Chain A
């Protein structure tokens, strides 16, 4: 102990300062408890209390505007790292009544102007393979091998540059039961592919045959399986897991 700040005071002074400080202390505890209750009883915005959602949206702005760069690419691996058994974690939107033979990718250019594209037409484009660490929002990850067409190549080939100037891209499964919204910057990232192959073979049904999204800058919840429709929008397309309380951006 240093003696520099030592003071001699009355016992009453000690008592009064103690009472004063603890009064403030207990008031702050009460305020913290009240604040916590208030926070948990705020109206919800897509299953999250509004004040929290506001900060999460702020996080999204910070990361998408200032930190995200298309030059930041996901680490890739040599082919022997790729897992032979790829984990299957969800089947939302993969109904049994799917008619594979009749499937065509629908791209809505504008209301009433929809492109119908066959799998063969997509396969005719230059193929891109990617082996990367697929990350699930649950916390696990797995190095997996996917093949398909770069979304940015697809946009060029089908003259979608006007559409892709919009802020968001929406994707739905054919049965519309699973749907995601993605910021256009991320979907035009050089590693984002419209994927029709896994481990060099056609996608299995439970991985979204015939075509799924692989977008390494996002959590798995955004890698929609079995794409039915793609559309573009300046407002956020609805998003399956966002509605259930997850982050809209879900960027990595």
Chain B
């Protein structure tokens, strides 16, 4: 017999798995658009440490000369990204799930402890509910970043109609830089997220599909009572 708990509500699983391909299309079509004026780099003076993006990268992903295509996908899928994201935020708000995701007073300090723990520098994790402090910070940041992408995107898309918004973001060129930077941050989030999911293992991944987490085994004898109220043994709290 197994002890399971409901972890991810159905709505959150839908939002999550819809967002994944939609965001992928947004980033891909964004790359097609960015290529037409690919001026960003990390460096100083004539020294470039990292060019966004190297020719090999563009070639490998078949990016060059597809600006029109990129725009047509970007300005269609933006609606899916926006609607899915707004529904997700509404859901968090009305279901009370936000309490499990938004950082609380301790989260900033604790998230550092979680990072040290995950890097095997520190032993033991602070107590947590559904998400640990680092997850709270990361998952909330990513929602704010999504909102940031919508706002900076709107400012680049219609800089005359939304002149005030554009000015608040530092003007047209800054809005474009901010939009680009947010995209880079999304991909960094994605990479860390994937690593953490791999490390957390099957049970955790399964919960994002099935909704439940298996938290432990029960010997057969005890399991006859479906409404067992005994204290569960402590279980792993590593969740992603």
Contacts and interface: CB of A to CB of B under 8 A. Distances in A.
Chain A partners chain B:
yes
B75 A1 contact: no
Interface residues of A, number: 53
Contact of B3 (A7, A17, A52): A7
A28 interface: yes
B36 A138 contact: yes
A67 B75 contact: no
A83 interface: no
Interface in B61-80: 67-69, 71-73, 75-76, 79
Given A14-B214, A17-B212, A252-B161, A7 B71 contact: no
Given A14-B2, A74-B160, A252-B159, A247 B75 contact: yes
A160 to B, nearest CB: 25
Interface string B156-178: 00111101000100001100100
User: Among A68, A73, A137, which residue has the most Cβ atoms of chain B within 10 A?
Assistant: A137
A68 B161 contact: yes
Interface string A121-158: 00000000000010111111100000000000000000
A6 B3 contact: yes
A72 B129 CA distance: 49
B37 to A, nearest CB: 3
Interface in B1-32: 1-6, 17, 21
Contacts of B76: 51-52, 55-56
Contact of B6 (A5, A11, A138): A5
A65 interface: no
Contact of A75 (B3, B163, B228): B163
Interface stretch (B84-92, B107-115, B136-144, B203-211): B203-211
Nearest to B100: A2
Contacts of B193: none
Contact of A9 (B1, B129, B167): B1
A149 to B, nearest CB: 21
A247 B37 CA distance: 18
A245 interface: yes
A32 interface: yes
Interface in A151-205: none
A53 interface: yes
A63 B161 contact: yes
Contacts of A47: 68
B158 A63 contact: yes
Contacts of B36: 137-139
Interface residues of B, number: 49
A216 interface: yes
Contact of A55 (B69, B75, B158): B75
B159 A52 contact: no
Nearest to A244: B68
A246 interface: yes
A25 interface: yes
Contact of A28 (B17, B75, B211): B17
Interface string B194-229: 000000000000100111111100100001011010
A56 B75 contact: yes
19 contacts: A1-B5, A3-B5, A6-B4, A6-B5, A8-B1, A8-B3, A10-B223, A14-B214, A21-B211, A25-B17, A47-B68, A49-B72, A52-B76, A63-B158, A67-B161, A139-B176, A141-B173, A245-B69, A252-B161
Interface of A: 1-3, 5-11, 13-14, 17-18, 21-22, 25, 28, 32, 47-49, 51-53, 55-56, 59, 63, 67-69, 72-75, 133, 135-141, 216-217, 241, 244-247, 251-252
Interface of B: 1-6, 17, 21, 33-34, 36-37, 39, 67-69, 71-73, 75-76, 79, 129-130, 158-161, 163, 167, 172-173, 176, 206, 209-215, 218, 223, 225-226, 228, 232, 235, 237
Given A8-B3, A68-B161, 12 more contacts: A1-B213, A1-B235, A6-B4, A7-B3, A10-B223, A25-B209, A32-B21, A74-B163, A75-B160, A216-B160, A241-B68, A247-B72
